[in-house]
Amino acid sequence: MSATNFPPLKNDLILRASRGEKVERVPIWIMRQAGRYLPEFQEVRKHHGFFEICRTPELACQLTLQPIDRYGSLLDASIIFSDILVIPQALGMEVQMVEGRGPVFPEPLVHPKDVARLREHVNVDQELGYVYKAITLTRHKLDGRVPLFGFTGAPWTLMAYMIEGGGSKTLSKAKTWLWKFPEETHELLQRITGVTVEFLVGQVRAGAQMLQIFDSWAGELSPHDFRTYSLPYIKQIATEVKERLARENLEVVPMTIFAKGAWYALADLTNIGYEVVSLDWTIDPEYARHATKDQVVLQGNMDPSVLFAGHDAIRETATRMVQAFGRDGKHIANLGHGILPTVDPEALRTYLETVQRVSAEIRED
């Protein structure tokens, strides 16, 4: 299938909002919108392994479309079904998805000498070509209903997984590297950054219309360590991706940074090449506007757990959120982190409906 001649886009609300244009209502999508809370996802997952789905373009496409088919015009974007851990895999590490535990690396990096185990020269297009194929196929199957996001993990978050070997409460092993082996840490982060740039450009070439970088573990770092070990690479990614896209005559797509927990870095995340800064629920919208000097579009940020509290609480919290981000636009609604696996899909519907209704009302006033 060709990565050209895609069907025309019928809903470009999120693309216009990302560029800071005044739009008729707040666009909305949900991190992890294709996931375990959907019975139709569980059904497919019964028959296929998680990474098997990621590597099979037809299945990845099918799962990407599930929330779009279910919620119809209530969603303004889709995100390709994949995972941030495909980059460690492309670097040569084994990653398993273990029921009840999440991702597990059987052989994590223990000492900088283990970096020699990683592939020296990664042919990204070859290793991750299955993601590109899934993106191209999905762009055709979406038939222009909504734009498609590509994504990746930020270098610090990926490095932390590669060292911790999976989830961790303290990240003490990964953090130890920062202070004990700073030079080797920068070398590793730089390698991950190089692969990431290549991968993001490839995703746009394949048809991605926006890109989001997930720095899920940014909030575990002190402001000083974030500025030393995460921010420079996040910045380099935006700069190089945009240069490459322009040079290759590809669309210079809007980019979103989600540095979860890094409220202290909002000013630093402004004007480094990302049109959109995604917020978790601990950040007050008004504070975020002030910290970013109103120079970026803000995304977020309802606490995902409100979706357990019943339709009234969802309506009340969603209304307050839309109002707090204000009537001047520059807001893309989402949750403050990924949707949780035990949420009732009808609770999400209430959230989506409320945001659309309230945001259209306040624009009309």
Q: Does 112 bind ligand CP3 (CB under 6 A)?
A: no
Nearer to ligand CP3 among residue 158 and residue 358 (C-beta): 158
From the list 16, 32, 70, 227, which residue makes contact with ligand CP3 (rule: CB under 6 A)? 32
Q: Are 196 and 237 in contact (CB under 8 A)?
A: yes
* Residue 220 near ligand CP3 by CB under 6 A: no
Q: Determine, following the binding rule CB under 6 A, whether residue 351 of this chain makes contact with ligand CP3.
A: no
How many residues bind ligand CP3, per CB under 6 A? 22
State the minimum distance, in angstroms, from the CB of residue 246 to ligand CP3. Answer: 26
Q: Which is nearer to ligand CP3, 289 or 337 (CB)?
A: 337
* Residue 262, token pair as written in the block: 């890094």
Residue 205 is among the residues annotated as catalytic for this protein: no
- The backbone torsions φ and ψ at residue 220, rounded to the nearest 5 degrees and listed phi first, read -85, -10
- In this structure, what is the dihedral angle of CA atoms 313, 263, 156, 268, given to the nearest 10 degrees? 140
Q: Looking at beta carbons only, is 15 or 85 nearer to ligand CP3?
A: 85
How many helices (H) does the chain have, and how many strands (E)? 15, 9
Phi, psi of 291, deg, nearest 5: -65, -35
**Minimum separation from the CB atom of position 90 to ligand CP3 (A):** 15
Provide φ and ψ at 350, rounded to 5°. Answer: -60, -40
The rounded distance, in Å, linking the Cα atoms of 147 and 329 is 19
β-bridge pairing 331-335 and 297-302: parallel
Coil, helix or strand at residue 347 = helix
Taking the complex as a whole, the smallest distance from the CB of residue 79 to ligand CP3 amounts, in Å, to 4
Nearer to ligand CP3, 34 or 255 (CB): 34
Question: Which residues between 134 and 193 bind ligand CP3 (CB under 6 A)?
Answer: 151, 167
Taking the complex as a whole, the smallest distance from the CB of residue 258 to ligand CP3 amounts, in Å, to: 8
Say whether 349 is catalytic. Answer: no
Strand residue runs (E) in 18-101: 78-79, 96-98
Q: Which residue of the set 25, 55, 71, 83 is catalytic?
A: 83
25 is catalytic: no
Rounded Cα gap, residues 35 and 311, in angstroms: 21
Segment interacting with ligand CP3 (CB under 6 A) among 5-13, 28-36, 185-193, 219-227: 28-36
> Which helix H or strand E contains 331, and what residues bound it?
strand 331-335
Q: Which one of 60, 68, 85, 276 is in contact with ligand CP3 (CB under 6 A)?
A: 85
* Interatomic CA distance for residues 168 and 216, integer angstroms: 12
Whether residue 161 lies in the annotated active site? yes
Share of the chain residues as helix, strand and coil, in percent rounded to the nearest 5? 50, 10, 35
For ligand CP3, the closer CB: 33 or 358? 33
Q: Using CB under 6 A, which residues numbered 55 to 84 contact ligand CP3?
A: 79, 81-84
Asked if 102 touches ligand CP3 (CB under 6 A), the answer is: yes
> Is the Cβ–Cβ distance between 246 and 270 less than 8 Å?
no
Please report whether residue 34 would count as binding ligand CP3 according to CB under 6 A.
yes
d(CA 206, CA 196): 15
Q: Which of 71, 132, 156, 214 binds ligand CP3 (CB under 6 A)?
A: 214
Which residue's C-beta sits nearest to ligand CP3?
Answer: 216
Q: What phi, psi does 99 have (nearest 5°)?
A: -50, 125
Residues in the chain: 365
Minimum CB distance to ligand CP3, residue 247 (Å): 27
Contact with ligand CP3 (CB under 6 A): which of 50, 177, 226, 229? Answer: 50
Minimal distance, residue 235 CB to ligand CP3, in Å: 19
Task: Please name the helix (run of DSSP H) or strand (run of DSSP E) that holds residue 102, with its range, or none.
Answer: strand 102-104
Q: How far apart are CA 271 and CA 289, in angstroms?
A: 13
- Considering beta carbons, is residue 1 or 98 the nearer one to ligand CP3? 98
Q: Is 229 a catalytic residue?
A: no
Residues with a catalytic annotation lie at 32, 36, 45, 83, 161
**Using CB under 6 A as the criterion, which residues of the chain lie in contact with ligand CP3 when the complex forms?**
31-36, 45, 50, 79, 81-85, 97, 102-103, 151, 167, 214, 216, 338
